[in-house]
Amino acid sequence: MEKRVLLTSVFKPCGVDDLFGRKENIPELSHNQLTHYQGIFSFRERYPSLNLHVIGANIDTPVTVLDWPTIERFVEEIRKGYEYIGISFIQPNFLKMKRMVEIIKEVSPESKIIIGGFGTMIDDIERIVDVDYVCRGEGIRFMRRLLGKPAKFTFKHPPVFMSVLEVMGIPIHFIGETLRKLGLSMERGHLVSMISTGVGCYEKCDFCSTGQFFEGGYIPFVNTGREIFEIMERQEKGFGVKRFAFVGDENFFKEEDKVKELHSLIVEREKDYEISLSFSSANNLVKYDPQFLAELGLGIVWIGIESKFRLYPKNINVNLPSLVKELESFGIKTVLSSIICLEEHNKENVWEDINWHLSMKPTFSQFAHLSIAQGTLLWRKMLKENRILHSIPLEDRHGFKQIWFKHPHFTPYESEILQREAYLKDYYELGPTLVRAIEVEYRAYPNLFSSKSQILKRRAEKIKKRMKIYKPILWASEKLVPKREMAERIRILRKEIERDFGKMNPIDYLIGTSLFLLGKKKEIQIKFYGDVIQPKTTETFYNK
């Protein structure tokens, strides 16, 4: 009889201060790391635990994946008597994992307990918690060995979707699903299919958990562009999804043959796919012509620029401002990620880095603290130098509150203020990310429209259609942003769009007024009730 496996995330609530977590630990990429300080303009999203689904789909045994349970729901599930229970966690969620282990010991003592994820890089984790197995690195092969399954297997990618819930108070997910149910739209634009082409990273940045968790390398799940294309095509046919996020693979564009094969199939089959998020180091991205990347469907690319004062190999000899400008000329939006409170930073030159970052006018910005995560090269260095502030608990050790090491120029509190000021400067000077995204598309339209590439011409046509809703969005945004200077910049952009795509009509103003009221309602809600949105609890079965 096959042994049954439960794979689970840690429990909710998330994003609140309690015995097990902190309000800064938000399980949303944008609201946690990119747009948090933009108020109602912050993108709110729902993320499943992709890693658990990928493992569950590929270990050839009955698996239940439980995403974001409450404690009560977790207890209910483990009473079913699983042979193996696996918990995935990151270091700030250590106390949640520990509590879940204690509950398993009480409620289902016969179950074997496995812990996995970046949290397993904590020093002496085997001594701290009483578990049966610790999975470090890639989980599919670990679980197959544990269950006595053959080492060779055919990778199966599960259908896993990230959903855009809302922005500016607009219930995007609800509207998208309602239109689909009414038969008014078969394309689910609010959903993004999450695809894991592999895990790890070839770069060996000293601060990064990813490369070192996977032993400083990259482990592919698929080896060809054709395999990736077939996954995308299955998701389109089965679920009406044309937007994809390549996650887990920190340097998708390094393998040129794979990328070029994917490009040729997309162009040949005339697929209007959008890669809504992919990660790449700058030195790999510059190998490609921006038109090629636009034809591939690249919509947003995440680039770690880190700092002018510490040049990582991935950024040497790369003209980053030029790269960003060239990408945006084809409608490709950028996430630029900088590190603040590097050892080279002081109270003056850190602002030189921040202003350099802002001068490139990215669509999204991340200003992460230098994070000394356990298990990294940097952790070992800082530990040896006796610079770790052990009084700061694991729950507070993440890149979006304060540093937890002795810095020559910043206290932890000063680092917290610095980060807040950097994000607010980004928001006030560059405007809401939603508006920036609209501007990138508008500026790229003439270039795409005049292209000889049919895919890019169709991309231009889509932008033209979206301008109809962009105009009332901008009109409402003018009245919702907190500063007059921001409103004026948005007004100028809207007037330019009206000049090229037609003036707003009475219906547009009616829509704009509705959007304004939704935004105001959201402002009031945040003021009195906060902005926490708990992730949805879901249960998914594999190999049943």
* Residue 67: C-alpha distances to residues 47, 88, 139 (Å): 9, 10, 17
Query: Domains of the chain: which residue ranges?
Result: 5-155, 161-374, 439-529
What are the beta bridge partners of residue 44?
Answer: 166
Q: What does the pLDDT read at residue 185? A: 60
pLDDT above 70 for 134? yes
Q: What does the pLDDT read at residue 356? A: 98
pLDDT confidence tier of residue 11, bands split at 50, 70 and 90? very high
Would you say the CATH fold of 161-374 matches that of 5-155? Answer: no
DSSP annotation of 394: G
pLDDT above 70 for 190? yes
Taking the domain 5-155, which CATH number applies?
A: 3.40.50.280
Strands 364-369 and 333-340: parallel
Burial 251-280 (b: 16+ CB within 10 A, else e): bbbbbeebbebbbebbbeeebebbbbbbbb
**Mean local confidence (pLDDT), 512-541:** 96
For residue 467, how many other CB atoms are within 10 A of its CB?
A: 18
Tens of pLDDT, residue by residue over 444-487, are 999 999 999 999 999 999 999 999 999 999 999 999 999 999 99
Share of the chain above pLDDT 70, in %: 98
pLDDT above 60 for 186? no
Q: Which spans in 304-372 are helix H? A: 320-328, 349-359
Strands 333-340 and 112-116: unpaired
Least confident of 216-220, 385-389, 514-518: 216-220
> Domain 161-374 maps to which CATH number in 3.80.30.20, 3.40.50.300, 3.90.220.20, 3.30.1490.190?
3.80.30.20
Q: What does the pLDDT read at residue 173? A: 87
Q: Which spans in 371-453 are helix H? A: 377-384, 412-430, 433-449
The answer, as to whether pTM is greater than 0.85, is yes
* Residue 414: C-alpha distances to residues 80, 167, 356, 447 (Å): 49, 31, 21, 44
**Mean local confidence (pLDDT), 49-78:** 97
Q: At a CB cut-off of 8 Å and minimum separation 6, what does 175 contact? A: 190
Tell me which amino acid residue 48 is: P
Q: What does the pLDDT read at residue 182? A: 73
For the chain, the maximum distance between any two Cα atoms, rounded to a whole number of angstroms, is 70
SS3 85: strand
| 502/482 Cα distance (integer angstroms) | 27
Q: Which spans in 130-204 are helix H? A: 139-146, 172-181
Burial 137-167 (b: 16+ CB within 10 A, else e): ebbbbbbbebeebeeeeebebbebbbbbbbb
